[in-house]
Amino acid sequence: MLTSRRLHRAALPLAAAALLTTAACTSSGGSGSGGTGGDQRLKVALAFPPAQAMSPYGDDAVILSRLAVVEGLTRLDANGEAKPALASAWKRDGDNAWEFTVRRDTAFQDGTELDATAVARSLTAAQKASPKPRVLSDTTLTATAEGAGTVRITTKDADPLLPQRLANPSLSILSAAAYGKGGGKVNPAGHATGPFTLTEVNGAVSATLERNDTYWGAKAKAPGADVKFVADGTARANALRTKAVDVAEYVPISQASLLGDGMVHEFPSARTNGLSLNTERGVFADPAMRAAAREAIDSRALVDGVYEGRADTAQGLLGPGVPWAAGLRTAPTGRAEAATPAEVRKARQIVLATYTNRPELPEAATVVQQQLEKRGFTVKQVVRDYAQMEADALAGKYDAFIQARNTLLDTADPLSYLASDFTCDGSFNITQLCAGPVDAAVDRAASLADTDARHKAEMTAEAAVLGSDALVPLVHERFVQGYDETRVRGVALDPMERTLITADTRVG
């Protein structure tokens, strides 16, 4: 999934500025839905609007998670390990079953009680959803209430990552009222368990949050939040500069130096920007041509020229946002000898594609094109909105595709990324790679409950993928979030992109 697979909606800069001006004028008196708290309310500018009416089964679940509205049975710590959330404890029962103890004395935002039946209902609804949440694309689970306080979850195959999987926002637990009369539609507004309650959504324009005063954990320090969805990165940065918003996510690199260090907070991410090469057809079906493309790429030039030093040079599939990877990395295996420049010049024109939704990618594509042409390739570039390109990319209609990929998005473990992107049956295999050593390493990793052993197997898979030159890593992104550190506290800087606003986020 590219850019978390959001269907981004473009916004005109003037329209975005108008929205933020409105936010600045109204925030001191509370929200349009009766919010209170004056200037203590948070004003937040998010980059990506809801694409599925805040359904938890698509990428809108990440918005709900980043706004501290929804929770699952588990949460993830900084190392990606599962910790208690709505489940206070769990244990494995054989290879395919787990028992989770549901947290007691916990209520949904609509006042109904959290119990095992509610948990089983939510997980069953997610399993039956169409399309199915991506986190369930490689597994099938069955949830059954055993009394009021225990949920038994079985999986079709052994799933050592189930506790991490249950922290995914698409598997959030909601009250019965969220499901209404059925039909597959789910409304999380007022029916979740998080420290903030979603009270209003105004299409792709804005949303309103109020503090959940019955929250089972530490109460939110802000009385609420007024959220604007602003696709234009410059407009978000300008709003932050003028204090029209308190928090602006994903500040463009071009704006970071203008804002200054006190307003810009960058940190390693789990996102790797890579050049996916079509291994099935065209020029790059030849491993020697893929090797030549890999040799042509200068990661440092991209870091310095495109990302202004606010990225890390490519080391592998997994960058600094996956801290354990560097110590386990091994050399790529099975690499072909690169084609000579003369052989490259004889090849037909290649189509290099990327998308506009991340502002640095088109510029990166231009630099990559120049690097490939220096090696002898003839390159045609295609750049459009991601929503217009995904189907063609998955169908292998491009020779090369530059994508920004979060390697920990689904389960906080790269296993699902490796399986979906690089195995023969992978659901997001843009490279069209089908290689026995990769599939074998991924299968082995999937069978391992021990975290250290699984990580080693995953790095064996990384070495095989890199050896095939199916994907050439370009850079490892750093996230750049914007807020004034002298007046805003408690903003989460999360490499996995799941949290931003928390119960601790406040102004002053």
The answer to whether position 454 is within a domain reads: yes
Name, in order, each residue with C-beta under 8 angstroms of 169's C-beta and a sequence gap of 6 or more.
Answer: 56, 61, 62, 64, 65, 70, 72, 498
**pLDDT value of position 39:** 64
Whether residue 183 is contained in a domain is answered as: no
Give residue 9's pLDDT.
32
Q: Are residues 279 and 391 in the same domain?
A: yes
Q: Residue 78 sits in which domain range?
A: 71-178
Cβ 493 vs Cβ 479: under 8 Å? yes
User: Residue 508's closest CA among 27, 39, 162, 4?
Assistant: 39
Residue with more model confidence, 25 or 280 = 280
My answer on whether 399 and 412 are in the same domain is yes
Span 204-226, average pLDDT: 97
Range with lowest mean pLDDT among 90-99, 226-235, 268-277, 408-417: 408-417
In a domain, 185, yes or no: no
Determine the 3-state secondary structure of 375 from DSSP: helix
* CATH number of the domain to which 113 belongs: 3.90.76.10
> Is residue 178 scored above 60 in pLDDT?
yes
Cα separation, 322 vs 290, in Å, equals 26
Assigned domain for 282 exists:
yes
Residues 345 and 305 in one domain: yes
Judge if 218 and 150 occupy the same domain: no
C-alpha 317: how far from its chain's center? 16
Task: Identify the CATH number of the domain in which residue 410 sits.
Answer: 3.10.105.10
Are residues 396 and 499 both part of a single domain?
no
Among the candidates 178, 211, 237, a domain finishes at 178
- Which of 30-39, 338-347, 492-501 is predicted least confidently? 30-39
pLDDT over 60 (residue 328) = yes
Residues 287 and 309 in one domain: yes
Q: Judge if 294 and 418 occupy the same domain.
A: yes
18: pLDDT confidence band, cut at 50, 70 and 90? very low
Q: Which residue has the tokens 């998010």?
A: 46
Q: How confident is the model at residue 21 (pLDDT cuts 50, 70, 90)?
A: very low
For the stretch 287-323, pLDDT in tens is 999 999 999 999 999 999 999 999 999 999 999 989 8
Region 88-93 average pLDDT: 96
Helix axis angle, 360-375 to 287-296, nearest 10°: 110
Tell me phi and psi for residue 392, to 5 degrees. -65, -40
Amino acid of residue 449: A
DSSP per-residue codes, 262-303: TTEEEEEEEEEEEEEE-SSSSGGGSHHHHHHHHHH--HHHHH
DSSP 435-482: -HHHHHHHHHHHT--SHHHHHHHHHHHHHHHHHHTSEEEEEEEEEEEE
pLDDT at 17 over 60: no
More confident residue, 48 or 349: 349
Do 140 and 60 sit in the same domain of this protein? no
DSSP string for residues in 451-463: HHHHHHHHHHHHH
Can you tell me which residue has the tokens 């980059």? 47
Residue 151: predicted pLDDT: 98
Residue type, 444: R
Are residue 460 and residue 503 in the same domain, yes or no? no
Residue 184 belongs to some domain of the structure: no
Q: How far is CA 28 from the centre of its chain?
A: 32
Residue 88 one-letter amino acid: S
- The answer to whether residue 130 scores a pLDDT higher than 90 is no
Question: What pLDDT shows up at residue 28?
Answer: 37
- Domain count of the fold of the chain: 3
pLDDT value for 496: 85
Cα 174 to Cα 189: distance, rounded to the nearest angstrom: 10
Can you tell me the distance from the alpha carbon of 394 to that of 399, in angstroms, rounded to the nearest whole number? 11
pLDDT > 50? residue 203: yes
pLDDT at 184 over 80: no
The pLDDT of residue 181: 73
Asked whether the predicted pLDDT for residue 88 surpasses 80, the reply is yes
For the cut 50, the answer to whether the pLDDT of residue 5 exceeds it is: no
Q: 167 pLDDT exceeds 70?
A: yes
Enter the tokens of residue 320: 């600094």
DSSP state for residue 386 in the 8-state scheme:
G
| Radius of gyration for the alpha carbons in the chain, expressed in angstroms and rounded | 23
Say if residue 33 is exposed, middle or buried (CB neighbours under 10 Å; 0-12, 13-18, 19+).
middle
78 found inside a domain: yes
Closest CA to 195 of 118, 328, 307, 86: 86
Give the pair of three-digit tokens for residue 136. Answer: 């369930």
220 and 171 within one domain: no
**475 neighbors 301 (Cβ within 8 angstroms):** no
Residue 472 and residue 456 in one domain: yes
Helix axes 436-446, 451-468, angle to 10 degrees: 170
What pLDDT is attached to residue 78? Answer: 80
Strands 350-355 and 379-384: parallel
pLDDT > 90: percent of the chain: 74
**CATH code, 504:** 3.40.190.10
Two tokens at 330?
């091994």
Categorize the per-residue pLDDT at 331 as very low, low, confident or very high, splitting at 50, 70 and 90. Answer: very high
Task: Please check whether residue 283 lies inside any domain of the structure.
Answer: yes
Q: Give the long-range contacts of residues 448-453, CB within 8 A, separation 24 or more.
A: 448/160, 449/160, 451/81
Residues 129 and 218 in one domain: no
- Taking only the tens place, the pLDDT of each residue in 58-70 is 889 999 999 999 9
For residue range 426-458, what is the model confidence (pLDDT) as tens digits? 888 999 999 999 999 999 998 888 889 999 999
Q: Is residue 111 part of a domain?
A: yes
Q: What rounded mean pLDDT belongs to the chain?
A: 90
Q: With contact defined as beta carbons under 8 Å apart, do 407 and 272 qualify?
A: yes
Strand, coil or helix: 253: helix
User: In the prediction, which pLDDT does 182 show?
Assistant: 65
